[in-house]
Amino acid sequence: MDALNAREQQDFQKLVEQKQMKDFMRLYSNLVERCFSDCVNDFTSSKLTTKEQNCIMKCSEKFLKHSERVGQRFQEQNAALGQGLGR
C-alpha cells in the first residue's frame, strides 16, 4: 500500500468496500434463500407459523455462525501464509 499515492489508495479502498458490500449482500441473499427454502412450507397463510419462525431463527443462527467460522479460518490461513512468506 505504501507504493500507492493518496488517490490510488482511495480508489483501492473504494474497491475493497464495494467488494465487502457485494460479499455481504451475497451472504444475506444466500441466507434468505436457504432458510426460506428449508423452513417455509405453508403458503396458505400470509404469516409464518411458530414452527417456521423457530426454524428460520435456528437456520439463520447456524448459517451466520458457519460463515463467521469460515471467515476466521481464512484469517488464520492468511496469517499463517503471511508468516511463512515473511521468513
pLDDT digits (tens, 9 = 90+) for 19-37: 999 988 998 999 999 999 9
pLDDT band at 83 (very low <50, low <70, confident <90, very high): confident
Q: How far is CA 67 from CA 21, 22, 24, 40, in A?
A: 15, 15, 11, 22
Q: What is the DSSP letter of 5?
A: -
What percentage of the chain has pLDDT greater than the value 90?
Answer: 59
In the chain the domains, ranked by start, together with CATH numbers, are 6-85 (1.10.287.810)
pTM listed for this prediction: 0.65
- Cell numbers representing residue 45 in the block: 397463510
Q: Is the pLDDT of residue 2 over 80?
A: no
Q: What is the DSSP letter of 86?
A: T
Q: Is the pLDDT of residue 71 over 80?
A: yes
Residues 6+ apart with CB under 8 A from 41: 52
